[in-house]
């Protein structure tokens, strides 16, 4: 969580100061940015992992929450002054976490925010693993094709090497420019044969890598919890 970034949107300076001070008491403190509602812009959201919305000027709340709700890779927590607003807000904004501003609200807010950041980080790792898997898919397909045709290629190389050896046994072909060309063919065939042998070891490495990548992705997905309940 050391690299996490939190944006606090509030027109109440005491609210922002209280939240920031309380978070600094935790073992790990994210980078915290505070903005007022009149300078806040939807474009600010993409550079943060979590947005905390506190008291804002009348009429600003709906536009701010609507702009943030559903932003990819960003969690949003709203601190509600009226506990009666909790259900309505959660119904209106599907991705919003709401903390009632009652006794002990700061501690609850920090706990919910830490869990939200953990979930965002887990989702980010899962998405990166998926992108990596997609990027590797083309290479894996090519590798599997090479492994499938490896026996045919090996047979062809064996034939080339065998015929090259036979020609070099004949003095007519073994001398002069023709001999050099045959030896060049023989050398290239030996190199290709060596490359094909390397595919044998790569085959087991690819299978092991695929299993590890799949296991990591599944572990990350299972570790992502549902929306925290307050």
Q: Measured in Å, how far apart are the chain's first and last C-alpha atoms? A: 22
28-78 tens-digit pLDDT? 889 999 999 988 888 888 889 999 999 998 888 888 998 888 677 788 999
pLDDT at 155 over 70: yes
CA distance 113 to 230: 12
The average pLDDT across 122-147 equals: 74
Q: How confident is the model over 92-122, as pLDDT tens digits?
A: 888 889 999 888 999 999 999 999 888 888 8
Q: For residues 34 and 27, which has the higher predicted lDDT (pLDDT)? A: 34
What is the band of 123 on the pLDDT scale with cuts at 50, 70, 90? confident
Q: Which of 64-68, 144-148, 223-227 is predicted most confidently?
A: 64-68
Q: So where are the chain's domains?
A: 5-102, 127-223
pLDDT score at 150: 80
Q: What is the per-residue pLDDT for 207?
A: 64
CA distance 40 to 34: 9
d(CA 118, CA 18): 22
Mean pLDDT of the chain: 82
pLDDT at 220: 57
Tokens of 31: 């980078």
Q: What is the DSSP letter of 57?
A: -
Q: Could you say which of 3.40.50.360, 3.60.21.10, 3.40.50.2020, 3.40.50.300 is the CATH number of the domain covering 5-102?
A: 3.40.50.360
pLDDT computed for residue 203 by the predictor: 64
Residue range 198-225: mean pLDDT, rounded: 63
pLDDT score recorded for residue 33: 92
| Dmax (CA) of the chain | 101
Q: pLDDT at position 225, please?
A: 43
Tell whether the model's pLDDT for residue 182 goes beyond 80. Answer: yes
Nearest to 93 by CA among 75, 113, 114, 119: 75
Question: If pLDDT is split at 50, 70 and 90, which confidence band does 218 have?
Answer: low
Distance of CA 72 to the CA centre of its chain: 13
> Which secondary structure element, helix H or strand E, spans residue 80, and what is its range?
strand 75-80
pLDDT of residue 10: 94
């Amino acid at each position: 969580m050391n690299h996490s970034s939190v944006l606090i949107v509030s027109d109440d300076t005491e609210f922002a100061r209280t939240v920031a001070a309380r978070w600094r008491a935790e073992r790990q403190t994210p980078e915290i940015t505070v903005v007022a509602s009149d300078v806040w812009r939807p474009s600010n959201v993409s550079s943060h992992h979590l947005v905390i919305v506190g008291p804002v000027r009348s009429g600003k709340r709906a536009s701010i929450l609507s702009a943030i709700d559903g932003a990819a890779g960003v969690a949003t927590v709203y601190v509600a002054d009226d506990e009666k607003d909790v259900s309505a807000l959660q119904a209106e904004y599907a991705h919003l976490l709401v903390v009632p501003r009652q006794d002990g609200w700061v501690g609850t807010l920090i706990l919910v925010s830490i869990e939200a950041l953990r979930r965002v980080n887990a989702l980010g790792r899962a998405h990166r693993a998926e992108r990596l898997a997609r990027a590797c898919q083309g290479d894996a397909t090519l590798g599997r094709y090479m492994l499938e045709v490896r026996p045919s290629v090996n047979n062809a190389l064996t034939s080339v090497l065998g015929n090259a050896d036979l020609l070099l046994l004949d003095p007519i072909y073994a001398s002069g420019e023709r001999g050099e060309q045959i030896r060049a063919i023989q050398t290239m065939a030996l190199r290709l044969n060596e490359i094909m042998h390397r595919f044998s070891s790569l085959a087991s490495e690819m299978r092991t890598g695929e299993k590890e990548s799949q296991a990591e992705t599944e572990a990350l997905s299972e570790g992502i919890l549902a929306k925290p309940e307050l």
